[in-house]
Structure 1
Amino acid sequence: MSNQTKTPEQNDDQLKEKKHWYDRVYRHFSKKEKQTTTILFGGLTMTHDTLIEAALRGLGYKIKALNCPDLTSLQLGREFGNRGQCNPTYFTVGNLIKYLKQLQTEGKTKEEIIKNYVFVTTGSCGPCRFGTYVTEYRKALRDAGFEGFRVLLFQQQGGLKQATGADNALELNTTFFVTVLKSVFISDILNIIGYRIRPYEIERGATNQALKRCKDKLYDAFLNKKSLIPVLLSCKKEFQNIKVDWTKIKPKVSVIGEFWAMTTEGDGNYKLQQFLESEGAEVEVQPVTAWILFLIWEGRFDTNRRINLKQYDRGKFGLEGKKPRQKIFQLSLADRSVRVLFQLYAKLLGLHYYELPNMDELAKYAHKYYDNHIRGGEGHMEVGKLLLNVVKKKANMTISVKPFGCMPSSGVSDGVQSYITEKFPEAIFLPIETTGDGAVNIYSRVQMMLFKAKQAAQKEYEEAIVANKKEQYDLNEQTATKHNFKHVVACSAANVIYDH
C-alpha cells in the first residue's frame, strides 16, 4: 500500500515505529584483556611509530605499529568510507582495514580479530573534521565486515577516552606519559639529523643505514628498559662516521601545514620529503615536540586571558574552583622540562645549534595577521612559521601541505598566507592540497618553485663568500665529518662559509 492510499492514522503509526539511528556502544577494552589484546596504531613518521611501539611494549602492552599508509590504503578507505572525507581519514581507516584483511589471510577469523585487537587514533578540535571521524571509522569497519571492532580516541585537548565506551585498559600514569614523550623526542631528533645530513652524504645510503642501526639499538633499549644514554652516545658515533660534502649548494625547504599531511612520509603527501631530496633540496621537517609545546602554550595563553576576569567562569575550561596561577606555573614548568629533556637528548645524539620554536615568538609574529584566539588545526603556527622562515632566513622555501578541503589549513594557507607573501615578496611559498591523485601535477608545481629557491640559496652562498673574503671553499677532512653549523642564513653551504 502506498503512502497516498494510507490513512493519516496508518502513516502516524508507521512514523512511531521508525527508530532513530544511534552510535552503538561496543564492549569495553578492560584491564583483564591487556595481555591478550593487541593495540594497533600509526600515523606519525615511521621512526616515531617504531620507537613508540618499543616504548609501550616495554611497559607491558601488546602493540603493533601499522605500516605507512599507501595508495592501497586510500582505495580501501574510499571503498568503505563515505564521500567527502579528508585524506587522513581515508588513508588511516583504509590502512587499518588493509591490515585486518591481512590478518584474515594469515588464518585469523573475524571474530578473533574483533576480540583480540583494538585501534588507537587521534582526535582534533575546532573546525578540523578529522576529530569527528571516529563514527566514520566504525561505519567503514562495519561495511568491511568488522562490525564491533573497537576504536580508542586520543583527544588533543582532554586525553584518552574510548570512542565506544568510557573504560579502557591503558594506565595513563606518569610512567606512561614520560616513556612516550622520551620516544617522541628521540624520534624527532633522529629525523632532524637524518634530513640534515642525507642531502650532503658522500656515500649514498650511508645516512639511512646509520639511522636503521640506531633505531634497532633504541628499539632494544626501550623494549628491555635499558639506560638510553649509552645507546644515544653510540648513535652519535654512527652519525659522526658519515662523511658529507658541504660544498653542495642546496635550498632549504620547510614543510609545514596540516599535522598529519606534513608528518606522514608516504603516499598521503605524495612522498613529498623524498621527492624534494631527489630534486636537490634539504628538507626541514616539523618535530612532533613542537605540537606538544603548542598545546602547553594554549593552556598558558587561555589561563592568562581568563585570570583577569571579574569572576572566574564555570565553563568546561573555566577557572572556578581552580588555582590559575598554580596552573600557569605548572604549564611553564612543563614547557621548560620538555625543552631541557629534548636538548639533552639532542646533545647526546650530536645535534647542535637546533632550537625548538619559541611559541610566544610565533604567536607574536602571527597575531598581526591571524588572531591567536582562532583555533583548529595548527592555529596561528602556520602563519608564524612562514613569517619566521622569511624574516629570520630559516628556509629558502616554505611548502604548506594539507588534505583537500582542510578547513583550518586551507583557510590559512590560501587566504592569510597570500596576504603575507604580498607583504614579504621575498617569500617563496607554495600551498599544496593532497587528494592522493595527481602526483605529477604536484611535482610540477614544486619543481617550478624549487627553481626560485635554488637561486635564493645560490645568492646566499655567494654573499657568504664575499662577506668572508673567500674566492672558493675547499672541503677538508674536519669539515667532511662535521654536521652542525651556526645558523646565519637558510642555505647550509653558506652557513659552513660563515662558520669558517
Structure 2
Amino acid sequence: MYVTEYRKALRDAGFDGFRVMLFQQQGGLSQATGEESGLELKPKFFIALLKALIAGDVLNGLGYRIRPYEVVPGATDRALAEAKKICYDALYERRSILLALLRAKEVLAKVEVDRTVLKPKVAIIGEFWAMTTEGDGNYQLQRFLEREGAECDIQFVSAWILYNIWEVAFDTANRALLRRHDKARAGLDGTGEFGVFTRRIGLWAADKALRAGFQTFAYAGGFYGYHLPDMDEVAEVAAPFYNNDLRGGEGHMEVGKLILNVVENKATMTVSVKPFGCMPSSGVSDGVQSLITERYPGTIFCAVETSGDGAVNFQSRVQMYLFKAKQAAQAELDQALEKTGLTLEQVRTFVKENPRYASSLHHPPHRATTTTADLVYEVAEVFGKTPAERALASAKRTLESVARGVVRAGKGTPAAVRGALPVVRRASAELFGYAREKAPVLREQALEMAKDKLGRVIPLRRTAVVEEELATAAE
C-alpha cells in the first residue's frame, strides 16, 4: 500500500522511475521502481547495518535510563549527541564500533544523576513504528512521559529481529511434519529431515549470535543489567489468550509483554500506542488486553491511538493512567522502605558517600517496577556493613547472578536434546540411504576416472588384457 502511494507521489512530482527500495518484514528487500540497482547488497552492508542498529539500541537504552534522573536538565541529551557522533564517525570511517562505544561510555558516565527521585516506569508497546518513533508520529510520547515525571521502558529493534527469527523457527517446527506437501513460498517441500534439522540449528545459532552481539555492545557502552526478551517465553505466556500463528503487527508480543510486565514487575504501567485504524494492534491486541487486565488485577494498561487532530485527547488519556501509576510507584517505594527499615534520606546519604552507586551507568538489580525501589533494596544489602562485608555480599550476588545465568542458559536443554535425537537419527538414516543409493554411480565414475589416469601413465598397449589390468588396478 505504502509503496504505491510513494510511487504515485513521485510520479506526480515529475520523478517517474525514481528508485524506491522495499525492506519488508515478510517480503525481504526489493526495488520497486528504477532500472538499475540503487543499492549494492553485500555481506559487509548487512553487517554494518546490524552494527548500527545494535549500537543505536544501546545508546537509546542508556538515554532513557539516565535522562529521567539527570540533575542538570539537558545534560543527557548533550552527552548522547556526543556519543552518537563518536559512533557515527566510527561506522563512517569503518573503525571499531566497540572502541567507539567504550569512548561513548566515558562521555555518558559524566552525567550526574539522582535515582532517589521516584519515577514510575512506563513500558511503551504497540505498533512497531508508533512505539519506536520519537517525533510527531506519536506526539513525542516518550518526552511527554518524561516531562510528566515517568521513566520510559522502550522496545528495541534488536528484539524485533529476534521476533523475526522466532517466527521462522516456530513455522519450521510446525511445518516439519508437512514438508512433503508443503509447497508454499516458505514451505519445506523436498527439504528432508536433514534440511529441516540444519535450518533449525541455523536459526538457533542466529538467535544466540544476535544476543551475544547485543550483550557485547551493551557491556562496551555501559548498558548493564539488560537482557533481550526470551521470545519463547513471550509466546508461551501469550498463547492462552492470543494464537501464536496470528502475525499481524507485533502478533502475540503485545499480549505477552503486558503479562510479563505485570507478573515479573517490569513496569508500573504499560502504554500501547498505534496509528488510528491499525487493525492488528487496535482491533485485536487491545481487545484481548481487556481480558488480561481482568485476569491480572492491578494492571495499569493504557491504549491510545494517533490521529491528525488528537494530541490533546491522546496526552490527556495517558495522564489519567499515569496518575494511577504514580500512586502505585509510591506505594511500592513505601513498602520497600518498610521492609528494609531504611529511610529515603539514609539511602540518599549512602549514595553520596559511595560514588559507585551514584554513577549514571550504575543499574541496581531488578527487584521492583521502579528504579528507586530497586536502589533501596540494593542499598539495604550493604548498608551499615564494613568494606569487607560489602565485598563478600558483592561476590555472593555475582555468584548468584552467574548461577541464574547458567540455569537460564540450560533451561529446556534436556528437552531440546531429547527432541533433537529423533531428528538426528532420521537425518542420519536419510543420509545413509542417499549414500547407498548414489554409491554404485559414484563407484563407476571413480573407476572410470582411475582407469583413464592409469591409462595415461602406464606405457602399455590398449588391449583387452591391458583394459582388464587397468580395471583391476583402479579398483
1:489 aligns with 368
In structure 2, stretches of 5+ residues that fail to align are 380-475
Correspondence list, 1:394-409, <5 A: 394-409=266-281
Does the Cα contact within 8 Å between 1:383 and 1:412 map onto a contact in 2? no
- Preserved CA contact (<8 Å) 2:234 2:256: yes
Match of 2:5 in 1: 136
How many Å separate the matches in 2 of 1:155 and 1:491? 36
The answer to whether the 8 A contact 1:269-1:436 is kept is no
Contact 1:270/1:436 (8 A) holds in 2: no
Provide the TM-score with structure 1 as the length reference: 0.72
Letter aligned with residue 160 of structure 2: W
Identify the residue that residue 228 of structure 2 maps to in structure 1.
356
Say whether the 8 Å CA contact 1:257–1:382 is kept in structure 2: yes
Deviates more, 1:463-472 or 1:250-259: 463-472
Sort the Cα spacing of 1:166 and 1:382 in 2 relative to 1 into closer, same or farther, 3 A. Answer: farther
Match of 1:448 in 2: 320
Q: CA deviation at 1:172?
A: 2.4
Secondary structure of the equivalent of 1:154? strand
Tell me the matched-pair count.
369
1:335–1:166 distance in 2 versus 1, CA, 3 Å? farther
After superposition, give the CA deviation of every residue in 1:415-458 in whole Å (9 maximum; x if it has no partner): 11111111112111111110132211111111110000001111
1:359 is displaced (CA, Å) by 0.2
Structure 1 equivalent of residue 219 of structure 2: 347
Q: Give the greater-gyration-radius structure (CA).
A: 2
Per-residue deviation at 1:469? 1.7
Q: For the Cα contact (< 8 Å) 2:179–2:189, is it kept in 1?
A: no
* Residue of 137, 140, 156 corresponding to 1:268: 137
**3-state DSSP of counterpart to 1:163:** strand
In 2: Cα distance, 1:427 partner to 1:405 partner: 25
* Equivalent residues of 2:83, 2:108 under 8 A apart: no
Pairing 1:457–2:329 present: yes
Tell me the equivalent position of 1:418.
290
- Quote the residue 2:121 is aligned against: 252
User: How far has the Cα of 1:145 moved from its partner?
Assistant: 4.1
Classify the secondary structure of the residue corresponding to 1:183: helix
Shift of 1:203: 1.1
Alignment partner of 1:334 is 2:206: yes
Asked if 1:292 is matched to 2:161, the reply is yes
Q: Deviations over 1:6-64 (max 9, x none)?
A: xxxxxxxxxxxxxxxxxxxxxxxxxxxxxxxxxxxxxxxxxxxxxxxxxxxxxxxxxxx
Match of 2:175 among 306, 310, 315: 306
Contact 1:400 1:413 survives alignment (8 Å): no
Contact residue 277 and residue 283 of structure 1 kept, 8 A: yes
On the 8 A contact 2:131/2:274 being kept in 1, the answer is: yes
In the superposition, relative to structure 1, how do residues 386 and 166 fare at CA in structure 2: closer, same or farther (>3 Å)? farther
Q: What is the one-letter code of the residue matched to 1:427?
A: T
* Stretch moving more, 438-447 or 295-304: 438-447
**Secondary structure, counterpart of 2:375 in structure 1:** helix
- 1:385 aligns with 257
2:348 corresponds to = 474
Amino acid at match of 1:474: R
1:159 equivalent in structure 2: 28
Deviates more, 1:346-355 or 1:470-479: 470-479
What residue identity is the alignment partner of 2:110?
N
Partner of 1:182: 51
Give distance in 1, aligned partners of 2:164 and 2:254.
15
State the distance in 2 between where 1:310 and 1:179 align: 35
Per-residue CA deviation, residues 453-478 of structure 1 (Å, 9 max, x unaligned), is 00111111111112212133224332
SS at match of 1:441: helix
Cα distance in structure 2, aligned partners of 1:166 and 1:195: 43
Structure 2 length-normalised TM: 0.75
- Cα deviation, residue 146, structure 1: 3.4
Q: Structure 2 vs 1, CA of residues 366 and 209 (structure 1 numbering), >3 Å: closer, same or farther?
A: same
Secondary structure of 2:348's counterpart equals coil
1:439 aligns with 311
* 3-state SS, counterpart of residue 292 of structure 2: helix
Written as runs of structure 1 = structure 2, the 5 A alignment for 1:81-160 is 132-160=1-29
Q: Does residue 99 of structure 2 align to residue 220 of structure 1?
A: no
CA contact (8 A) 1:267 1:436 kept: no
**RMSD of Structure 2 on Structure 1 (CA):** 1.5
Find the counterpart in structure 2 of residue 168 from structure 1. Answer: 37
| Partner SS, residue 122 of structure 2 | strand
1:209 correspondence with 2:72:
no
1:496 Cα deviation (Å)? 0.4
Distance in 1 between residues matched to 2:124 and 2:219, nearest whole Å: 24
CA–CA distance in structure 1, aligned partners of residues 106 and 215 of structure 2 = 18
Question: 1 CA distance for matches of 2:87 and 2:183?
Answer: 46
SS in 2 for 1:304: helix
What letter is aligned with 2:11? R
**1:342-361, Cα deviation, whole Å (9 max, x unpaired):** 00010011111101010000
Counterpart Cα distance in 2 of 1:230 and 1:156: 31
Output the CA distance in 1 between the equivalents of 2:229 and 2:41: 27
Please state how far the C-alpha of 1:257 moved relative to its aligned partner: 0.4
SS at match of 2:180: coil
3-state SS in 1 of match to 2:326? helix
Shift of the alpha carbon at 1:171? 2.9
Write the mapping of 1:221-236 to structure 2, written as runs, cut at 5 A: 221-236=90-105
Aligned to 1:44: none
Give yes or no for contact 2:337–2:343 (8 Å, CA) kept in 1.
Answer: yes
User: For residues 310-369 of structure 1, what are the alpha-carbon distances to aligned partners after superposition, in whole Å with 9 as ceiling and x for unaligned?
Assistant: 735111111123311100100100000000000001001111110101000000010010
For residues 450 and 329 of structure 1, the distance between their equivalents in structure 2, rounded to whole angstroms, comes to: 44
Partners of 1:377 and 1:313 lie apart in 2 by 25
Distance 1:328 1:176 in 2: 25
State the Cα distance separating 1:382 from its structure 2 match.
Answer: 0.5
| Structure-2 residue corresponding to 1:7 | none
1:386-436 superposed Cα distances (whole Å, 9 cap, x missing partner): 111111110011110001000111123431111111111211111111013
